[in-house]
Amino acid sequence: MPMTDIYLGLMSGTSADAIDAVAVDFSNNTAALLGSHSKPLPPDIRAVIHRLASTGPDEIDLLGQLDVQMGELFAATVHELIEKLGLSNQTLSAIGSHGQTLRHRPPGSLAHPFTLQVGDPNIIAEQTGITTVADFRRRDMAVGGQGAPLVPAFHQAAFQSTTVNRAIVNIGGIANITWLPTSGEATGFDTGPGNVLMDAWIWQHHKKTYDNAGAWAASGTSDEQLLEALLQHPFLFQAPPKSTGREDFNPAWLDTCLRQYQCARRPEDVQATLLAFTARTITDQLKKVAKEGGIEIFLCGGGAYNDTLRQAIQGLMPHCPVATTAELGIAPEWIEATAFAWLARQTLNRESSNLCAVTGARKPVILGGVYYA
């Protein structure tokens, strides 16, 4: 292995808008971000990813081809990052690749729960010449865990304080929280939709991939009756540990809710309601874990840049300061990719990296499969 302690992290989330890549130096037992790169996913690839989120024709052929295509795109992203930063393959320890999730069926959803990510790590390792660690979720599920969220273990390692209770709120396509008390066990779980419904709605009406700073939502008015209808989703009443995805929160489910609750409404009012839905599902859970108050809240993921959403969360948690993880040293958009660089390091050091209190696993295990260069 290289004598350095530099790892690359690759992440493509539920929104399937881009591949995020980072180079992280762990040599001083801290996550020092050396640089980052984001590669937008081609629209045709993004369309196939969203199509495979639900059942349909030619699934196996589509999946097999997408696995190869995403592997090639991940490898290309690594090459672009290395060139951008002037790094050498010989100085890099490994790549940690989350892959692109297509289906996530955790325990409780099916008789035989499973999770499925694509982006063939054989291709990544071969085309980059760098050892690649991938397939992190399934080992946790093999010991009864949800397989997600996995990033809270990194949140604990990087951000836990001995003086103040903290909550890290990741707002990607799906939102999740990590509760970091000053002492004792960290916990975390998915809270429900992050950006996934808002992104789908603005794409349907304006062909934009996201609502920049939440400006469109801010132009509308939240419909309280519709909001209450959305808040009846069964997932929201499940006790942790729990995880979710597009299988639960998707445009088809939203359309069903809109049909059941019929009244004249403007598209921007629906967007405002979806933003309020995300804010409520996050803060309702924060209030449950932070019973004593006096916590610091740090946002990460793309939703951290939605000013309207951040203000809504602050309004629902008036006594808790709400900031982004930039104040903790890592910009919101790079947290998850950094986490998978850290997870790869844990794997190669033969250290466990699943938090049983988060995923519900029976025991800590070493996550990921290793594909040597």
Q: Is the pLDDT of residue 1 over 60?
A: no
204 — pLDDT class (breaks 50, 70, 90): very high
Find all residues with CB under 8 Å of 2, minimum gap 6, and list them. 90, 91, 92, 93
Phi, psi of 310 (to 5 degrees): -60, -40
Percent of the chain exceeding pLDDT 70 equals: 98
293 — pLDDT class (breaks 50, 70, 90): low
Q: How is residue 362 written in tokens?
A: 């029976």
- Angle, CA of 46, 49 and 119, to the nearest 5°: 100
**CB count in 10 Å sphere of residue 204:** 14
Q: What is the pLDDT of residue 2?
A: 56
Q: What is the pLDDT of residue 54?
A: 85
Phi, psi of 259 (to 5 degrees): -70, -40
Q: What is the pLDDT of residue 163?
A: 94
Find all residues with CB under 8 Å of 57, minimum gap 6, and list them. none
pTM of the model: 0.93
Residue predicted with more confidence, 289 or 316: 316
Q: What is the pLDDT of residue 4?
A: 80
Stretch among 53-57, 179-183, 190-194 having the lowest mean pLDDT: 53-57
Give the residue-averaged pLDDT of 147-160. Answer: 96
Residue predicted with more confidence, 44 or 109: 44
Q: What is the pLDDT of residue 53?
A: 86
Q: Is the pLDDT of residue 7 over 60?
A: yes
Q: What is the pLDDT of residue 290?
A: 84
What is the gyration radius of the CA atoms in the chain, in angstroms?
20
- Domains of the chain by residue range: 6-146+334-371, 152-328
Phi, psi of 209 (to 5 degrees): -80, -20
Helix runs in 208-266, H state only: 215-218, 224-230, 251-260
How far CA 196 is from CA of 34, 67, 212, 254, in Å, comes to: 30, 22, 14, 11
Q: 32-40 and 92-105: which strand pairing?
A: unpaired
Q: What is the pLDDT of residue 185?
A: 87
Q: What is the pLDDT of residue 192?
A: 97
The pLDDT tens digits of the residues spanning 294-318 come to: 799 999 999 999 999 999 999 999 9
Cis ω before 149 (30° cut-off from 0): yes
Q: Is the pLDDT of residue 321 over 70?
A: yes
Q: How is residue 243 written in tokens?
A: 């995880």
Helix runs in the chain, H state only: 43-51, 59-85, 121-128, 137-142, 152-159, 196-206, 215-218, 224-230, 251-260, 267-289, 307-316, 335-348, 356-359
Rounded CA separation 261/66 (Å)? 37
How far CA 275 is from CA of 65, 125, 214, 320, in Å, comes to: 35, 40, 8, 20
How far CA 144 is from CA of 48, 139, 179, 237, 358, in Å, comes to: 30, 9, 21, 21, 12
14 — pLDDT class (breaks 50, 70, 90): confident
Residue 37 pairs with which residues in a beta bridge?
21
Give the residue-averaged pLDDT of 181-192. Answer: 93
The pLDDT tens digits of the residues spanning 26-61 come to: 998 899 999 999 999 999 999 999 999 888 888 999
Rounded CA separation 236/177 (Å)? 14
3-state SS track over 292-343 = CCCEEEEEECHHHHCHHHHHHHHHHCCCCCEEEHHHHCCCHHHHHHHHHHHH
Q: What is the pLDDT of residue 328?
A: 97
Instruction: Quickly count helices (H) and strands (E) in the chain.
Output: 13, 12
User: 90 exposed, middle or buried (CB, 10 Å; 0-12, 13-18, 19+)?
Assistant: exposed
264 — pLDDT class (breaks 50, 70, 90): low
The pLDDT tens digits of the residues spanning 141-151 come to: 999 999 999 99
Give the residue-averaged pLDDT of 10-39. Answer: 94
Q: What CATH number was assigned to the domain covering residues 6-146+334-371?
A: 3.30.420.40
Same fold, 6-146+334-371 and 152-328: yes
User: 259 exposed, middle or buried (CB, 10 Å; 0-12, 13-18, 19+)?
Assistant: exposed
Whether residue 236 contacts residue 283, with contact meaning beta carbons closer than 8 Å, is answered with: no
- Angle, CA of 290, 296 and 302, to the nearest 5°: 105
Give the residue-averaged pLDDT of 332-346. Answer: 98
Q: How is residue 211 written in tokens?
A: 């609502």
Q: What CATH number was assigned to the domain covering residues 152-328?
A: 3.30.420.40
Q: What is the pLDDT of residue 220?
A: 97
